Each structure stands twice: as structure tokens, then as C-alpha cells.
């Protein structure tokens, strides 16, 4: 680990966590106990996960139990920290259909802003001709039936975490979706690479 990165990670900041949960345990290559140590030393934590309301079976309590079981340190410390976490079942795949088709991220951000200006939460609620006229170089016919939508994520809470850290995964999937949303609202966070999968 580079010295600057080490020093930066030792600073206590707010943390956004994305999908560090049992459902993805096979993809997570870092030590969960080390991750818990990291969390204990940080300020406020906003913990996004895929739960029963979306595609997962993990609940907030499942995740808390899993983190506690994997932690090798002072169990009271991790339990206290996890009791203060803000948990949020974030939804799944809100921008992924266009991301997975290789759409330009800049275009996706413009599309999100356009949808918000028009108070539309599903891209299918805007006529395809309007999309094509507005974004002639980026619009593709597959987008008609393969929509993006605005997630039901509390932006007021997310904005309070601007300037903090972000961890989790998948790096090019769910984590990237949240980073795109954050970028639209100029919410900045520093990636802690050793806790990204």
C-alpha cells in the first residue's frame, strides 16, 4: 500500500458501503474482520445492500450477524458500531441495462438529469422520439424496452456523506451505479481500494 493511501485511510471520515453482504461473499476477496476494523475507526456509515425488497435474501440483521461472526476483534465494539449504521435496501440494476450495453457514462448522466428535469422515474415514460431528438448520437433502439430508472435512494442522506469514503462492489456494477448517481449530484467520495471487489 502506498504511504499516501495509508495515511488517507487512517483519517476518520463518513463511509458509504455498497453490497458488502453474505450474498456476495464468494466475490469478496478482502478479509471481513479487517473491513470491520476499518468501519470501527470511521464516523457515520451509510450501508447500502440488496435485500428482500430487491433481489437478495440478506436482511439488515443477517448482514450484522455475518459481520459480527467474521470479526476477530472486540465484539462489543463492532456491535456498537453496527447499531449506529444507517441501513438502506437500495434497489438493483437501476442504470445497469444501459451500462451493460456499453452506453457512454456521460450520456447516462445526461439522461438521468433529463429524466429528473421532466420528473420521470422510468426512461420508458419519455417517448422514444423525444429521446432520439434530444440525444441523436447516443440513443439506441434497445433502450425502448430496456430502461433505466431513478432509484428510491434518499439523496439528502447521500449528500451528507460527500467527501467521505466509498467501499464495496461490484466495482463495475452496483458500486459503479451508485457512483454515477453521486456524480450527477456532485457527491464526491474517495474509493478505499482494498475494500472494493
Would you state the pLDDT for residue 6? 54
* Closest C-alpha to 98, from 117, 111, 80: 111
Sheet containing 45-49, strands listed edge to edge, beginning at the edge strand earlier in sequence:
86-89, 45-49, 15-18, 164-168, 189-196
Rounded mean pLDDT, 174-188: 98
Looking at residue 85, the DSSP 8-state letter turns out to be P
Q: What pLDDT score was predicted for residue 135? A: 98
Identify the H or E element spanning 165: strand 164-168
**How high is the pLDDT of residue 7?**
54
Average pLDDT across the chain, whole number: 94
* pLDDT at residue 9, rounded to an integer: 59
Cis, peptide link before residue 86, omega less than 30° from 0: no
Which pLDDT score, from 0 to 100, does residue 11 have? 85
pLDDT (tens digit per residue) in 107-164: 999 999 999 999 999 999 999 999 999 999 999 999 999 999 999 999 999 999 999 9
Q: Domain residue spans in the chain?
A: 3-93+153-196, 96-144
Q: What is the pLDDT of residue 2?
A: 60
3-93+153-196: CATH topology: Rossmann fold (3.40.50)
The predicted model scores a pTM of: 0.93
pLDDT band at 1 (very low <50, low <70, confident <90, very high): low
Amino acid at each position: 500500500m502506498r504511504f499516501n493511501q495509508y495515511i488517507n485511510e487512517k483519517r476518520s471520515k463518513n463511509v458509504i458501503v455498497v453490497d458488502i453482504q453474505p450474498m456476495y461473499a464468494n466475490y469478496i476477496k478482502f478479509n471481513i474482520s479487517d473491513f470491520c476494523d476499518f468501519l470501527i475507526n470511521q464516523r457515520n456509515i451509510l450501508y447500502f445492500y440488496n435485500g428482500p425488497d430487491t433481489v437478495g435474501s440478506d436482511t439488515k440483521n443477517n448482514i450484522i450477524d455475518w459481520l459480527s461472526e467474521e470479526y476477530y476483534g472486540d465484539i462489543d465494539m463492532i456491535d456498537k458500531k453496527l447499531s449506529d449504521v444507517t441501513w438502506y435496501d437500495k434497489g438493483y440494476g437501476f442504470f445497469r441495462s444501459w451500462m451493460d450495453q456499453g452506453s457512454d457514462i456521460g450520456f447516462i448522466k445526461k439522461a438521468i438529469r433529463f429524466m429528473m428535469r421532466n420528473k420521470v422515474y422510468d426512461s420508458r415514460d419519455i417517448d422514444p422520439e423525444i429521446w432520439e431528438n434530444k440525444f441523436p448520437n447516443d440513443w439506441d433502439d434497445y433502450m425502448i424496452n430496456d430502461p433505466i430508472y431513478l432509484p428510491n435512494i434518499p439523496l439528502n442522506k447521500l449528500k451528507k456523506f460527500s467527501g467521505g469514503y466509498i467501499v464495496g462492489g461490484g466495482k463495475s456494477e452496483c458500486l459503479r451505479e451508485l457512483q454515477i448517481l453521486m456524480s450527477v449530484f456532485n457527491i464526491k467520495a474517495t474509493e478505499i481500494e482494498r475494500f472494493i471487489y
